[in-house]
Structure 1
Amino acid sequence: MAYNYNRLFEPIKINGMRLKNRISLSPMGTFTPNIDGTDSEEGIRYYEERAKGGAGLIQTGAMFLTSKLAQGSPTIAVDSIRSIPRQTLMIERCHRWGAKVSLQLSCGTGRNGAITVTDDVLVSASAVPAYYDPNMICRPLTVEEIKESMKDWENDTRIALEAGYDAIEIHAHAGYLIDQFMSPIWNKRTDEYGGSFENRARFAVEIVQAIRNVAGPKFPILFRISLDHRFNGGRTVEESMKLLQVLEKAGVDAFDIDAGCYESQDYIFPTCYTGEGCMAYVCEEARKHVSVPLLNAGNHSMETAVELLESGNCDIIQFGRQFIADPDFPNKLKAGHREDVRPCIMCNEECIGRIFGRLTQLSCTVNIQTAMEDAMKITKLEKTKNVVVIGAGPGGLEAARVAAMRGCKVTVYEKADKIGGIFRAIATADFKKRIRDLITWYGVQLEKLGVEIKFNTEIKPDDPVLQDADEIFVATGSVPFLPPIKGIDLPNVIDVTKAHQFGVDAENIVICGGGLSGCDTAIELGERGKKVTVVEMRDDVALDVMPINKISITRLLDEYGVDLQVGKTVMRIEEDGVIVVDKECNEVKIPADAVITAFGQKPAAEVPEAILAKYPMKTTLIGDCDGVSKAGKAIREGFYAAMALQ
């Protein structure tokens, strides 16, 4: 299907603000602010790079109204005049590229607060359980505190105007504090801020009015709201329509609409399993009830963005992690080079996973330069080097790309007949489309950079090409780990990678191993109507998976009826099934027509170690051959290897 991407580049106005196109950087936390409440140079450059790349609107991540209500989460201190100079710096550096900048303001996470970063009892609309620790009962905000917060909204608006922001977006989605006031499941109040619909909406309406009182009639006020909480008892799309109408009447100039809350976290941070354009469905009904512009986020590709705009149900598309993966994608589209857009693979590993898991600033699995644009700037070497890359998996491909960009003569040797390695081989499911897209992108980039790829060629330590090379990058990947289980070599047994490559004709399948690879394979086979059982020796499956992704995986395993046999160890494999033993040493046979082994991988280390021993001064090992991990680690190591060339 042919797409006319010009639709993305049509101008649009939100109240008094004119945007040059329909492409917006979705508001996402960066974890870049300094401890004094000002943003770091890395944070400023992060926003500037997306403005330079062609965004019409730059939305900051949620900045908290006051440190008290933030309850420990680090953001820019937008309630303090000391934050103004560096905010102005960021805004004007974005304006320099023609982008407008919107400050997303939040009065707090409420019951969703991270209890590990605050010593206080969390606040909420009512005395409801905290999300992360249901044993903690939140403290309801008093009426006096609510009234005082309205003064804070006015103060922060004044500071936003002084800094030079073009708009303010009220963060009221995802079940955060404002949403807790708007939703009956969390708002149990009996005063003027609870009970009736009008009372539950009062807190949000007064916030809109507080901003308008300071900003004036032409200043754009955006309102981000989840229209569908996607859990039993949460607000539905139909129930949200009345809220939109009340808020538009109160003075909201545009609605940033999506779905999800912390009870359905894989929609707040959409996964590959939720699919592309996964929250576009909320727009059609919203369009019927309000007249102001609508913005929408949710794993959009350029194609789903065009489709949504052409439907008439949305006016501006929010791109989040796609902008992290490729800040220049709007300019590439505008220039007619869709093939050069590096895809976000929707893995959640190095963006929100890095923030949640390590409490450090965001990065990206496929774009190592994210939030380190200056420190990781790719520059040409003074002298050309002859670089040999062994292995065309993700680590080798990234090393080859960056080395070529630095002016090196690069040759890649790959023993298979395609690039991508295991990463490509296992990407057969529909939900792994973006991985296939990434491998295609690498192929295009290497061709444009003049990198020669020699397929069906296996390099040994004594190969003459190694002697002639200035630098050797070895990225030969990993091989399946096969434990000494009786029957593992039977004809009805297949390794998980080969199962993806050649398919499995059987209808009743047992997968040995419940890690990410085993679970993904179970979901893919379940989608195809197969009867699937997963055997895992630990107490749960997908324990090696980023927690938000695990939410999607767990739901889909249940949806496709996958039988999870946890706490059980594979003892032997027979022609018609698998013998397992539980923790009480009870032996059980699970019938199967075919058995897939997904016990993990081990480094293909023999050749790499031999090459390193022979050429220690010019050899770098990359990715799984030096220690099995995820593809993101291999890509990062490939980038670093090429960047380290001198």
Structure 2
Amino acid sequence: MKLFDRTQIAGMKLKNRIVMGPMGTTGEADGAYCREAINYFEERAKGGAGLIITGANVVTTKYEARPCTELSNFHHVERLNMLIERCHHYGAKVCVQVSPGLGRQQFTDPFTPPYSASDCSAFWFPSLKCKPFSKEQIHDIVNKIGYSASLAKMAGADAVELHAYGGYLLDQFQSKQWNTRTDEYGGELKNRMRFTLECIDSMRKNVGTDFPILVKFTPVHRAKGGRELEEGLKMVKILENAGIDAIHVDVGCYEVWHKAISTVYEKEGHQMDVVGAVKKVVSLPVLGQGKMFDPEKAEKAVSDGKTDYIVLAHQMLADPAWANKVKKGNTMDIVPCIGCNECLLAGFSGKHYYCAVNPLCYAEKDYMLPEKTDIKKSVLIIGGGPGGMSAAITAAKRGFNVELWEKSSRLGGNLWPAGLPTFKHDVLNLIKYMERQILKLGVKVVLNKEAVEEEVLDGKYDKIILATGSKPFMPPISGIENSVPANDYLLGIKKPGKRVVVIGGGLVGCETAAYMKETSEKVTIVEMLEDILAISEHCLNNDQALRTMIKERNIDVVGSAKVIKITPDSVIYIKNDKEYTLECDTVIIASGYRSNNELEDKLQDKVENLTVIGDAGAPRKILNAIHEGYHAIRVM
């Protein structure tokens, strides 16, 4: 496979073309890398990545608070060196990304204007006008960028990458929509790129002529008023002429964050057309990304000359050993990324990374399973959804005798309605993976098995996991018998008519509406709250992607509406004290879920070791189910 060609970027020799993409990581109070981060990067090196690019390391906190790690003084070198050395032990090379800052995309508070190229609006708080950097401040940052690059080299890094993409600070200077300056840092393209070019020059002066410098940049924003590809291709030629050694291609900005950081709703390879366009106009090595987790498609992109390197980010969180598994041909054992962006949501909620499908992410040492012993414990798992499967896989890895009872004819639980819409098949990959592991590990699976109290007690199990999931909630609306829960339509049990009304504008309601619009003429969402997705706990980029889909599919939304009656051919609701009637031939209910936990009360005082996980405890997310299943067994 060309993915495993030995290659070179300037003087940096790489064992393959697989790159772990940059993702900001939390650090110690002083901005240095923490032990958890060092273990996290080491695990990806152990997993076979040829090149690891760290997340952004800010070079100063003089102008904005530190969003992640920092590389601004001698004392940051020690921990960075520890990280690099541990990665080197596995043959991986490390490229340290340095950043002048986030600018208008800095998340601070509604009262403190961030700095930017001009007095444009802050992204998170649009009523705030940014403070333009003075020329003296720009020169200060340029000097600090160079010094930070020298610290990276001192720490043992193999390369440095300039953070100049995605609507962050340097990209704000490069972009007409945010840069309205009239001095030498504004106006025509070469002036708007002056700050970036000065940073490259400062880095080169500090690291020497032979040390690789990469630049991550955005040739097209795919946002209203943003950069178009024509200008982006001119930019890459300017960057090439500046003497950099490789170009890392990105797409998007926070306004269309889903086009930059992939979600479940994006198609695979959604950035590769842009990567290929850049590759055609430069002689530099090109790093390309954009949901390239399928090994065959990654190999084809390299073989077809669209990119020189495949960059994987969230897939590396899901499975650090992606590269090793591909090399050995064990592709069916790759833990799939499902595009939920729980990782990103955690980071923007003040936490470290969490991965829905990998409970060990950022806890590689802390959450390792105990060593197997000669003690053979018996474990009964009731329910074969994501939580139950996670518990079964974990128990089998610990060497326990595992039985899994599932009342339906297949494993997967509510992953099936979540994954069957045409735009969410990433979730189906998770079912396939978990089923495969259960089969390989020899878990005893009993399908079409309803758990009853007496039989559970008769088994005298050492541990019982109640993973019975949840069922749709049907609200007390007059005529509710004229409607059907969303799951029946998502599973294909029911087929919609031409005019569909979905009652409930949460995550399930919106996805159901989008899916139904593929075959129905008219779809309307009726929501009690003012807006759809108002209380959905998902990341901004997933929210943007789903809202975009709702808009592009011309789905009507009626907010602040209370449904009072459902008839065989209409939905009657009240909005602003006025009654309205929507004619329809299909009514779908998406009003949430209720736990299937009837067994809990029956078993709780009769068994010593009962744990309730996932939706059986409270309807929540895939992350909660998988993690709770894992940890319930880990701590036994």
Scaled to the shorter chain, the TM-score interval is over 0.9
AA aligned opposite 1:500: L
AA aligned opposite 2:208: G
The answer to whether structure 1 residue 575 and structure 2 residue 568 are counterparts is: yes
The answer to whether structure 1 residue 157 and structure 2 residue 159 are counterparts is: no
- Contact kept, 8 Å, 1:388 with 1:466, in 2: the verdict is no
Structure 2 counterpart of 1:548, from 519, 536, 541: 541
Deviation at 1:466, TM superposition (A): 5.0
The answer to whether structure 1 residue 25 and structure 2 residue 12 are counterparts is: no
Structure 2 counterpart of 1:43, from 37, 41, 44: 37
- Contact kept, 8 Å, 1:602 with 1:628, in 2: the verdict is yes
Structure 2 counterpart of 1:499, from 475, 489, 502: 489
The CA distance in 2 between the partners of 1:247 and 1:384, in whole Å, is 61
The CA distance in 2 between the partners of 1:221 and 1:111, in whole Å, is 26
Structure 2 counterpart of 1:408, from 400, 405, 409: 400
Give identity over the alignment, percent.
38
Label 1:426 to 1:261 Cα distance change in 2 as closer, same or farther (>3 A). Answer: closer
- Which residue of structure 1 lines up, in the alignment, with residue 81 of structure 2? 88
The CA distance in 1 between the partners of 2:158 and 2:519, in whole Å, is 49
Q: Secondary structure at the match of 1:412?
A: strand
Per-residue Cα deviation, 1:464-489 (whole angstroms, up to 9, x for no partner): 56532111001011111112222211
- Within a 5 Å distance, the mapping from 1:225-236 to structure 2 comes to 225-236=217-228
- Which residue of structure 1 lines up, in the alignment, with residue 301 of structure 2? 308
The CA distance in 1 between the partners of 2:67 and 2:566, in whole Å, is 52
The CA distance in 2 between the partners of 1:424 and 1:613, in whole Å, is 33
AA aligned opposite 1:456: N
Q: Secondary structure at the match of 2:501?
A: strand
- Which residue of structure 2 lines up, in the alignment, with residue 331 of structure 1? 324
Q: Secondary structure at the match of 1:227?
A: strand
Q: Secondary structure at the match of 2:282?
A: coil
- Which residue of structure 1 lines up, in the alignment, with residue 577 of structure 2? 585
Deviation at 1:39, TM superposition (A): 1.0
Deviation at 1:532, TM superposition (A): 0.8
Label 1:588 to 1:257 Cα distance change in 2 as closer, same or farther (>3 A). Answer: same
Structure 2 counterpart of 1:524, from 515, 518, 525: 515
The CA distance in 1 between the partners of 2:147 and 2:160, in whole Å, is 13
The CA distance in 2 between the partners of 1:304 and 1:24, in whole Å, is 15
Label 1:529 to 1:306 Cα distance change in 2 as closer, same or farther (>3 A). Answer: farther
The CA distance in 2 between the partners of 1:372 and 1:505, in whole Å, is 45
Deviation at 1:528, TM superposition (A): 3.4
AA aligned opposite 1:618: N
- Contact kept, 8 Å, 1:63 with 1:77, in 2: the verdict is yes
Q: Secondary structure at the match of 1:632?
A: helix
- Which residue of structure 2 lines up, in the alignment, with residue 437 of structure 1? 429
Label 1:466 to 1:364 Cα distance change in 2 as closer, same or farther (>3 A). Answer: farther
The answer to whether structure 1 residue 124 and structure 2 residue 116 are counterparts is: yes
Number of residue pairs matched? 631
Per-residue Cα deviation, 1:277-306 (whole angstroms, up to 9, x for no partner): 221120222122111011112222223322
Q: Secondary structure at the match of 2:563?
A: strand
Q: Secondary structure at the match of 2:183?
A: coil
The CA distance in 2 between the partners of 1:416 and 1:177, in whole Å, is 53
The answer to whether structure 1 residue 180 and structure 2 residue 166 are counterparts is: no
- Contact kept, 8 Å, 1:380 with 1:407, in 2: the verdict is no
Per-residue Cα deviation, 1:530-569 (whole angstroms, up to 9, x for no partner): 4211111011111214132111111110100111111111
Q: Secondary structure at the match of 2:193?
A: helix
Structure 1 counterpart of 2:625, from 612, 629, 634: 634
Q: Secondary structure at the match of 1:506?
A: coil
- Which residue of structure 1 lines up, in the alignment, with residue 186 of structure 2? 194
The CA distance in 1 between the partners of 2:611 and 2:522, in whole Å, is 44
The CA distance in 2 between the partners of 1:353 and 1:624, in whole Å, is 20
- Which residue of structure 2 lines up, in the alignment, with residue 217 of structure 1? 209
- Contact kept, 8 Å, 1:612 with 1:620, in 2: the verdict is no
The CA distance in 1 between the partners of 2:100 and 2:574, in whole Å, is 52
- Which residue of structure 2 lines up, in the alignment, with residue 3 of structure 1? none
Per-residue Cα deviation, 1:307-342 (whole angstroms, up to 9, x for no partner): 321220101111010000010111111111111000
Stretches of structure 2 that go unaligned for 5 or more consecutive residues are none
Per-residue Cα deviation, 1:28-67 (whole angstroms, up to 9, x for no partner): 0122x10022211100000000000000000100110111
Deviation at 1:346, TM superposition (A): 0.4
Per-residue Cα deviation, 1:138-166 (whole angstroms, up to 9, x for no partner): 11111112222222122112211110110
Per-residue Cα deviation, 1:49-103 (whole angstroms, up to 9, x for no partner): 000000000010011011124x113433311100111111110100000000000
Structure 2 counterpart of 1:378, from 363, 369, 372: 369
The CA distance in 1 between the partners of 2:496 and 2:354, in whole Å, is 40
Deviation at 1:120, TM superposition (A): 4.9
- Within a 5 Å distance, the mapping from 1:47-86 to structure 2 comes to 47-69=41-63, 71-86=64-79
Q: How large is the RMSD of aligned CA atoms in angstroms?
A: 1.4
The CA distance in 1 between the partners of 2:384 and 2:457, in whole Å, is 17
- Within a 5 Å distance, the mapping from 1:607-618 to structure 2 comes to 607-615=599-607, 617-618=608-609
Q: Secondary structure at the match of 2:480?
A: coil
- Contact kept, 8 Å, 1:576 with 1:592, in 2: the verdict is yes
The CA distance in 1 between the partners of 2:633 and 2:516, in whole Å, is 38
The CA distance in 2 between the partners of 1:471 and 1:297, in whole Å, is 44
Bigger mean CA deviation after superposition, 103-112 or 271-280? 271-280
Q: Secondary structure at the match of 1:527?
A: coil
Q: Under a length normalisation based on structure 2, what TM-score does the superposition of the two structures give?
A: 0.97
AA aligned opposite 2:562: T
Q: Secondary structure at the match of 1:344?
A: coil
- Within a 5 Å distance, the mapping from 1:262-281 to structure 2 comes to 262-281=254-273
Deviation at 1:522, TM superposition (A): 0.9
The CA distance in 2 between the partners of 1:604 and 1:526, in whole Å, is 30
The CA distance in 2 between the partners of 1:503 and 1:481, in whole Å, is 17
The CA distance in 1 between the partners of 2:457 and 2:606, in whole Å, is 13
The answer to whether structure 1 residue 142 and structure 2 residue 125 are counterparts is: no
- Contact kept, 8 Å, 1:365 with 1:632, in 2: the verdict is yes
- Which residue of structure 1 lines up, in the alignment, with residue 107 of structure 2? 114
Stretches of structure 1 that go unaligned for 5 or more consecutive residues are 1-5
- Contact kept, 8 Å, 1:466 with 1:472, in 2: the verdict is no
Structure 2 counterpart of 1:244, from 209, 228, 236: 236
The CA distance in 2 between the partners of 1:227 and 1:609, in whole Å, is 58
Deviation at 1:529, TM superposition (A): 4.8
The CA distance in 2 between the partners of 1:644 and 1:536, in whole Å, is 42
